[in-house]
Amino acid sequence: MVNPNWAKHVKDYNRVLGKSKVQILMFNGVPCGDLGVINAYIVNNPTNKANLWELLKGEISRRGAWILCGDLNMVEQKEDKLSQYEKIIIEKKLISWGALKVALD
């Protein structure tokens, strides 16, 4: 739930991402510069995650700072994941995740 005074700053992607929930809150002109906050709960589906990272990368501009928080259900190192299914499609997810991290830098 978002305070009505802040609602105009929130982009809600719940409908676009199915069961995953993502909100983007942008603070413009704060003392440290523009600040974006991404709060996410991502369902554990590798294909949806890769699509989400691509979507978020497109939303993030190079100006300002970004904070990404929430439950991302993300494993960065292949060795940390035991599922054979994950190992088959993990490359696309990791490439998309890496591109999102670059966009956040």
Helix 46-59, helix 84-104: angle, nearest 10: 10
Euclidean distance between CA atoms 104 and 102, whole angstroms = 5
In this predicted model, what pLDDT tens digit does every residue of 44-63 receive, in sequence order? Answer: 888 888 888 888 888 786 67
In this predicted model, what pLDDT tens digit does every residue of 8-22 receive, in sequence order? Answer: 776 665 555 667 888
Question: What does the block give as tokens for 29?
Answer: 């002109």
Banded model confidence at residue 69, pLDDT cuts 50, 70, 90: very high
Look up tokens 């259900």; give the residue: 73
Locate all alpha helices (DSSP H) within 29-83, ordered by sequence.
46-59
pTM, two decimal places: 0.64
Locate all alpha helices (DSSP H) within 1-105, ordered by sequence.
46-59, 84-104
